[in-house]
Structure 1
């Protein structure tokens, strides 16, 4: 009786993790950080010492950078969780394969014993 063990590449949804933790995280964080830096500099340039009151640019910039840090943290937490799930799947696969090998060895030994009894 052979156990059907699927390859790890079929069991672990690695592609989704790469897109979320790689592409999506980089794109969103880069855009928000760039927006934050530009807004901060625009707010500083338009600061009351130079003209009128434009602290809103500084606030938008800080909020944008803070939001990017929050998003990066959330995605990294997701990535860590998915990596742990992958390792659990790998451990499970190793255990399944070890059981299959042990069963084959026991079956072979039983066959030898039965042949010896005949």
Structure 2
């Protein structure tokens, strides 16, 4: 079922929720049961590995990850630049006049509109 609600859309990328759940399970297991035997150690190491994997996969999207695109140096030459307008227009949006006013005000060379309704 499609939905634009943010709390539902968060389930599209659940790595953070999975990592949090694994951390809670590790903490609860250690608090309630402890790590006394070999099977406990194997279980906790497996969970720690799963937690590490989730964190590893999430790392590129954090502020700590190195930037992939460097900032441009100097000033832009208007003759060698384009004006780009990117707009996220929801399918339910019926206020096309506001979008058209924005297009007329900015006069872009290229318009990219996403989530539009044909």
> Which category of TM-score, normalised to the shorter sequence, fits these structures?
0.3 to 0.5
> Which structure shows the bigger proportion of residues in helix conformation?
1
User: Which structure is larger by alpha-carbon Rg, 1 or 2?
Assistant: 1
Higher strand share: 2
Structure ranking higher on relative contact order (CA contacts 8 Å, 6+ apart)? 1
TM-score by length of 2: 0.36
